[in-house]
A and B are shown apart, each in its own frame.
Chain A
Amino acid sequence: MATNILPMLSIILPFAAGVIMLFMGKRPIPHRIVSTIASAAMIVASLISLYLVYQHGPLITYMGNWAAPFGISIVYDMVAALLVLTTAIILFFIVIYSFQSIGYEREKYYYYPMVMFMITGINGAFTTGDIFNMFVFFEVFLLASYVLITLGNRKIQLQEGFKYFVVNVVSSNFFLIGLAYLYSVTGSLNMADIQVKLSNYDGNLAIMTIIAVVFLFVFATKAGLFPLYFWMPGSYNAPPMPVIALFGALLTKVGVYAIARTFSLFFTNDMGYTHQVLLLLALLTIIVGCIGAIAYTDMKTVVIYNIMIAVGVIIVGFSMMDPEGTLGGMYYLIHDMIIKAALFLLVGFIIYRTGKNDAEDIGGLIDHHPIMGWTFFIAGLSLAGVPPFPGFFGKLYIVESAFQNDHVIAAIIVLLSSLVVLYSVVRIFIKVFWGEARTNYKLNDIKYDKLAFAAVSLVIVSIIFGLSADALYPIFEMAAETFYDPSVYSNYLTGVE
């Protein structure tokens, strides 16, 4: 029962880096150095942890040496290991991207510390084994994200930041209500303990369904599921590009992770109802996302609606609750985090270089940036799931599982959504990179080597991820197991290794 520091590193490192930067004062260059070192260290630490988890099973830490159901435990299982590693990789490249894009003033006013505090909260939410602790980490990253969305004081940021703030505070309060109900039913806050208690639950199913719906309301708001996505296109448009990339790649995915975790661990008693609702909402999300992605030519908005499509596809996978579906969902989740970050960075590159947001206003950029153009094309193919790019394998398993469970319509919607995704991204590609060069703008003379480096590297990471899908299969199998067989997650309570 010794306190193992390794699973804690993903929380401690960004937090320590943030605090160190706060003490440094308004000095952007040291901030850059510290945040680069911290994010590189996080990649190394999470790689080591991933290897250990693969070899020996979940790494568990008991805070203050309180035994499992009583104290707060950190459960660093395969799901957490994969998500933390992906977060670290994305963070590293976005930090490098920020050097040339976020602007000196924002850097001076503690941009990097806020990013680090947000990562602290995100990693905490991924790794914690305690549902109330998850709420606290949600608040940690939300508070940092409120600062990030308004940092810079542009009018649109303040206006959209306020809406974002109110929506998230209200949904956090509902999280607390859900927690209160769950606590009164189970008398425990440890997620593994709740799972054990609920697996022999013979009380009123109606109360569990109500709790499930409250939790779904909360996490669907964070993830941007169908009826609760209304805040997303507006709020994600406001902040500068690296912040949007962080939000789009990580924040919505925390909501998805929380849905997957709670609906596999807690709400398995009445799956005919709760998981059907989940599936229905996911499909509606895909449809609304498709409509949005086709309707707009503003590049940021198109990619933001693509987030919704991806969230829908992932939730379809998790709502199946069988080995194939959760495997596909898990794989697609990781893939989407990487490729969404890459796509936002590429779109950001175009916007910073041309000064235009709308794809209609740009043309013929391939003469100036052939490498970026083809990288964008590859990123688009990867997003849509063309083999051998990684999106394909995730969608393959999700569709296979949907067919096996007789959800033919779900499978067809997921497949058709790929076409829409491909269309929406390739349309941007054709308008921006091909065609006649427009004369209504001229290219901004900015330094862009780091922008290009970060964006291209993330696409390369995505391609490597796709090509090594075969080798990664056992890892994802292990991750999916905690979803379709939740008792694996709770084994650490009883000491079964």
Chain B
Amino acid sequence: MELVTIILAGILVASATYLILSKSVLRIIIGVSVLSHGVHLLILTMGQLKRGNIPVLEDSVSSYTDPLPQALILTAIVISFALTAYSLILLLQNYKELDTDNTEDMKGVPHGD
């Protein structure tokens, strides 16, 4: 089970790399959020999947699933949500002001500045 999720995380990170290396700003932003999904999956896997009971304290149960990675990715998901929201606004402003969504045109000092 761990192996499958690790491979899935790898595929996500690989597609994110492909997207980030493209020239369209929107693709880069989608790439960044796909990258964060891959990383979150990796964190979840690092605490081992399915190794026992639900993480509720009870004396009769001795092996628990590790609740910490779940708490961690919850925090990380919230952060990446905020970042995605901000990056979309930035994309919109960039498109309005610079009149381009191609990173090729975003070099040097912009025209008229």
Contact = CB atoms under 8 A, between A and B. Distances in A.
Interface of A: 132, 135-136, 139, 143, 146-147, 150, 153-156, 158-159, 161-163, 165-166, 169-170, 173, 176-177, 179-181, 183-184, 189
A177 B113 contact: no
Interface in B43-99: 43, 45-47, 68-69, 72, 75-76, 79, 82-83, 86-87, 90-91, 93-94, 97-98
Nearest to A237: B109
B82 to A, nearest CB: 6
Given A177-B39, A183-B47, A155 B97 contact: yes
B46 A183 contact: yes
B90 A162 contact: yes
Given A170-B35, A180-B42, A184-B46, 13 more contacts: A132-B75, A143-B82, A143-B83, A153-B93, A159-B106, A165-B86, A166-B32, A170-B20, A173-B35, A176-B39, A176-B40, A183-B68, A189-B68
Contact of A173 (B36, B69, B82, B91): B36
A155 B98 contact: yes
Which 6 A-B residue pairings sit nearest by Cβ, starting from the closest? A184-B46, A155-B110, A180-B46, A180-B43, A155-B113, A176-B39
Interface of B: 20, 25, 28, 32, 35-36, 39-40, 42-43, 45-47, 68-69, 72, 75-76, 79, 82-83, 86-87, 90-91, 93-94, 97-98, 106, 109-113
Contacts of B110: 155-156, 159
A183 B45 CA distance: 11
B26 to A, nearest CB: 12
Contacts of A181: 46
Contacts of A139: 79, 83
B86 A143 contact: yes
Contact of B90 (A132, A136, A161, A179): A161
Nearest to B25: A162
B20 A166 contact: yes
Given A162-B90, A162-B94, A166-B32, A173 B109 contact: no
A161 B90 CA distance: 9
A332 B91 CA distance: 39
Given A155-B113, A162-B106, A169 B43 contact: no
B46 A158 contact: no
Contacts of A146: 86, 90
Contact of B112 (A136, A147, A155, A189): A155
Contacts of B35: 170, 173
B98 A158 contact: yes
Contact of B32 (A161, A170, A179): A170
B88 to A, nearest CB: 11
A26 B3 CA distance: 53
Contacts of B113: 154-156
Nearest to A142: B83
25 contacts: A136-B75, A139-B83, A143-B82, A146-B90, A150-B90, A150-B93, A154-B113, A155-B112, A155-B113, A159-B94, A162-B25, A162-B90, A162-B94, A163-B106, A165-B87, A166-B20, A169-B32, A170-B35, A173-B35, A173-B36, A176-B76, A177-B42, A180-B42, A180-B45, A183-B46
A97 B49 CA distance: 53
Contact of B28 (A132, A166, A183, A184): A166
Nearest to B32: A169
A105 to B, nearest CB: 15
A162 B40 CA distance: 23
A103 to B, nearest CB: 16
A130 to B, nearest CB: 11
A150 B93 CA distance: 10
Contacts of B86: 143, 146-147, 165
Given A143-B82, A155-B113, A165-B87, A173 B39 contact: yes
B46 A165 contact: no
A176 B25 CA distance: 24
B106 to A, nearest CB: 5
A20 B28 CA distance: 35
Nearest to B83: A169
